[in-house]
Amino acid sequence: MNFSITDVLAASQNQPYAQNFAQTALSEKDQKVLAALQKAYPQNRIRLARETQVTGFYEVILGEGVSYVFIAADTLEKLDLINEKNRDAYFQHWIFGGVFYDMKNQIDLTAPMKKLAQMVDVSKLPVENAITREVGKAENTLFVFTDPRCPFCKKLEAELVKLENVRIHTFLTPLTSLHPDAKEVSARILCAKDKAKAFEDFMLKGKEISEPAQCQTTLEANERLLTELGIKGTPTIFFENGERATGALSAEAIQKKFEAMAAIKKAIKEAN
């Protein structure tokens, strides 16, 4: 059983992350507001809009960040009329970079939204462009963005090989501004007859491929994906539920996350 983005949204209803998956993610009114904002700001990757506990005060996931906008009651009756040209007359007051805090209950209401903003719908990732490896029953899945010249990426790989019953989709995303030859190294790996072996040999054993790359690769598509997902550095990991983690996590930390997600899956199954 996989997580859906609806599960993820439901989990963020001002609750600690990964709880209350059975709740409805967005009301009909919220869906209309979301559609209006997306139409008004087509270049801003608005992914979620939802009214907070304060009437007319909406939390918005914009790209990988969280913002807030005030929407007057009469504006809700004119959502179909709003477009790029007149949007400022309707969506005038925004808050960027702030924290929505419940002083009475001492709860940071922005925190779960920030976590949600960093998540992606992994079901839409083009895994055909990744190097896929499976160990055991592959009960868990990881999506890893890595630069073969990145030392922290190599450190992560040394941890990933300790995992059991896992499927790993690795997207080669060379950061040429930091490692000028990383793109050619990545291309040579992707042009190898056995990509997975060539990748592991390079990352774990330091075996360089001497032959220049002579095939068409998915590197440009991977680089575009890196930008689309707002990934700023490597390694970046996405878990099966869409949660993002950066840096060289230990195998122990990853396994604990797998166990936590297994408990969530069980709860969802029982709730249904």
Bridge partners (DSSP) listed for residue 244: 238
CB 203 within 8 A of CB 154: yes
What does the longest C-alpha to C-alpha distance in the chain come to?
A: 67
Two tokens at 121? 């719908």
- Verify that 68 and 137 share a domain, yes or no: no
Is 224 found in the same domain as 163? yes
Same domain, 112 and 10: yes
Q: Which domain holds residue 129?
A: 122-271
User: How far does CA 134 lie from the centroid of its chain?
Assistant: 22
Residues 102 and 234 in one domain: no
DSSP 250: -
pLDDT of 57 higher than 90: yes
Task: Express each pLDDT in 160-218 by its tens digit.
Answer: 999 999 999 999 999 988 899 999 999 999 999 999 999 999 999 999 998 888 899 99
Amino acid 25: pLDDT: 66
Q: What is the pLDDT of residue 10?
A: 46
| End-to-end Cα spacing for the chain | 12
pLDDT of residue 13: 39
State whether 126 and 234 are in the same domain.
yes
For residues 107 and 161, membership in a common domain is answered with no
Categorize the per-residue pLDDT at 264 as very low, low, confident or very high, splitting at 50, 70 and 90. Answer: confident
What is the number of structural domains in the chain?
A: 2
pLDDT grade, residue 117 (50/70/90)? Answer: confident
Q: Do 129 and 180 sit in the same domain of this protein?
A: yes
Domain edge (last residue) among 68, 92, 117: 117
The CA distance from 261 to 272, in Å, is: 17
Residue written as token pair 């592991």: 200
Residues 33 and 108 in one domain: yes
Same-domain pairing of 164 and 85: no
pLDDT value at residue 69 = 96
- According to the model, what pLDDT value does residue 133 have? 97
Same domain flag for 130 and 264: yes
- Give phi and psi for 4, each to the nearest 5: -110, 165
The CA-atom distances, in angstroms, between 248 and each of 14, 155, 156, 237 are 30, 6, 4, 9
d(CA 198, CA 188): 9
Burial degree of 109 (CB within 10 A; 0-12, 13-18, 19+): middle
Q: What is the pTM of this model?
A: 0.77
**Residue 9 scores a pLDDT above 50:** no
Task: Please enumerate in sequence order all residues whose Cβ is within 8 A of that of 53, keeping only pairs 6 or more positions apart, or say none.
Answer: 14, 102, 109
Close Cβ partners of 72 (under 8 Å, ≥ 6 residues apart): 56, 90
Residue-level pLDDT at 119: 85
C-alpha–C-alpha distance, residues 240 and 250, integer Å = 17
Q: What is the share, in percent, of the chain residues with pLDDT greater than 90?
A: 66
Burial class (CB in 10 A: 0-12, 13-18, 19+), 104: exposed
pLDDT of residue 106: 94
C-alpha closest to that of 239 among 263, 221, 255: 255
- For residue 195, the domain's CATH number is 3.40.30.10
Q: Is there a single domain that holds both residue 53 and residue 152?
A: no
Residues 135 and 221 in one domain: yes
What integer is the mean pLDDT of 112-139?
90
Token pair belonging to 118 = 């960093």
Boundary residue ending a domain (117, 151, 173): 117
In the numeric block, which tokens belong to residue 228? Answer: 């689309």
Pick the last residue of a domain from 117, 142, 171. Answer: 117
